[in-house]
Amino acid sequence: MIPHHSHLIEGVTGGKAGGAERFRRLKWNELVTRGDFVEDGNQGFEPWAGPGGFRADSFVKPIYRRAESVRPQPKNKMNRSRSHNRSIKLQLFFKSLRSMEG
């Protein structure tokens, strides 16, 4: 198990590369699809070849999916609340300027 990431594990698939990959265990309500993996009992994983659409909690063995890398967010992008607060501050600023002129 990867330290400080209890939801991520490292495992070996029977794929062409045969190298270690990072997986995360599916939550109970996530749907299993092709491309997911079933733990094979030997600390390895086998690709799920059955039909998709079943919830992960309907399986006896845990179901895993390749862990996606974290995508960095752009630093200059403001979230909606910051943008909204900024527009209110600008409105108040211009309103105060107009009141000082008159």
Q: What is the mean pLDDT of residues 91-101?
A: 80
Tokens of 77: 């992008």
State the pLDDT at residue 11. 59
User: What are residue 55's DSSP bridge partners?
Assistant: 31
Nearest alpha carbon to residue 31 among 58, 66, 60: 58
**pLDDT of the residue at 23:** 86
Give the per-residue pLDDT at 6: 46
Model confidence at 88, pLDDT cuts 50, 70, 90, reads: confident
Q: What is the pLDDT of residues 42-80, one digit of tens each?
A: 768 889 888 888 898 988 888 999 887 555 555 655 555
Q: What is the pLDDT of residue 32?
A: 92
pLDDT reported for residue 16: 43
Q: What local confidence, expressed as pLDDT, does residue 1 receive?
A: 38
Sorted by where each begins, the domain ranges of the chain are 8-66
State yes or no: pLDDT of 38 exceeds 80: yes
Q: Quick one: what percent of the chain has pLDDT higher than 90? A: 7
